[in-house]
C-alpha cells in the first residue's frame, strides 16, 4: 500500500544541518498553511504541543540502516533502529514535544524543536499529560545511563 502525506506547514529556524543541536535554546516557527489556520484555534491554551515532521534531509542510503549505536555513542551496543530515536529509519518521521511560546495567525513559535529549517510538518497535536505520558513506562538501563 502506498501512502501520500501532505505537509500542513514548514519549520523556520536557524538550524541548517541535521545533528545534535541545543534545540532547547533555538526558537523555531512552525508556519502552518494559510488554509489550515482555523485548525489552530485555541492551541495557545496548551503549554506544549507534539510536532510530527518529515526528516527530509535523511538520505536514501541512511533509510536502509537497521542498527545504530544509541545517541551515536560507540561505547553502547548496537540496537535496532526501532529501539532508538535515530533519524536513520525507513520512514524518517520525527516526533517531539515542544514548548509553545506563542500562537499568532498561522504561526506557532516554539522551543525544543530539533528539526532543520525548511522541514515539512505533517501534524500537530496538543500535549496532554497522562494521555501522552503513561505512569508506569519502563526503559532499559542503557537509555537511562546515557543521559
pLDDT of residue 39: 98
Residue 29: pLDDT band by 50, 70, 90 thresholds? very high
Q: Which of 26-35, 64-73, 86-95 has the lowest mean pLDDT?
A: 64-73
Separation of alpha carbons 98 and 125, rounded Å: 11
Residue 22: pLDDT band by 50, 70, 90 thresholds? low
Instruction: Give domain status of residue 107, yes or no.
Output: yes
Position 37 pLDDT exceeds 60: yes
Position 43 pLDDT exceeds 70: yes
Separation of alpha carbons 39 and 121, rounded Å: 14
Which three cell numbers, joined as nine digits, stand for 145? 545511563
Full domain range(s) for residue 90: 9-145
Q: CB count, 10 Å around CB of 90?
A: 11
Prediction pTM value? 0.89
Q: What is the CATH number of the domain that holds 63?
A: 2.40.30.70
Instruction: Give domain status of residue 124, yes or no.
Output: yes
Position 58 pLDDT exceeds 90: no
Number of domains in the chain: 1
Amino acid at each position: 500500500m502506498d501512502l501520500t502525506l501532505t505537509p500542513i506547514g514548514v519549520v523556520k529556524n536557524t538550524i541548517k544541518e541535521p545533528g545534535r543541536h541545543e534545540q532547547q535554546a533555538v526558537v523555531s516557527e512552525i508556519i502552518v498553511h494559510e488554509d489550515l489556520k482555523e485548525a489552530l484555534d485555541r492551541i495557545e491554551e496548551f503549554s506544549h504541543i507534539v510536532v510530527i515532521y518529515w526528516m527530509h534531509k535523511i538520505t536514501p542510503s541512511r533509510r536502509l540502516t537497521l542498527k545504530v549505536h544509541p545517541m551515536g555513542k560507540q561505547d553502547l551496543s548496537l540496537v535496532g533502529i526501532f529501539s532508538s530515536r535515530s533519524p536513520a529509519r525507513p520512514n524518517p518521521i520525527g516526533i517531539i514535544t515542544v514548548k509553545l511560546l506563542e500562537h499568532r495567525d498561522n504561526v506557532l513559535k516554539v522551543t525544543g524543536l530539533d528539526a532543520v529549517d525548511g522541514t515539512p510538518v505533517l501534524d500537530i497535536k496538543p500535549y496532554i499529560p497522562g494521555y501522552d505520558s503513561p505512569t508506569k513506562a519502563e526503559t532499559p538501563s542503557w537509555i537511562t545511563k546515557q543521559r
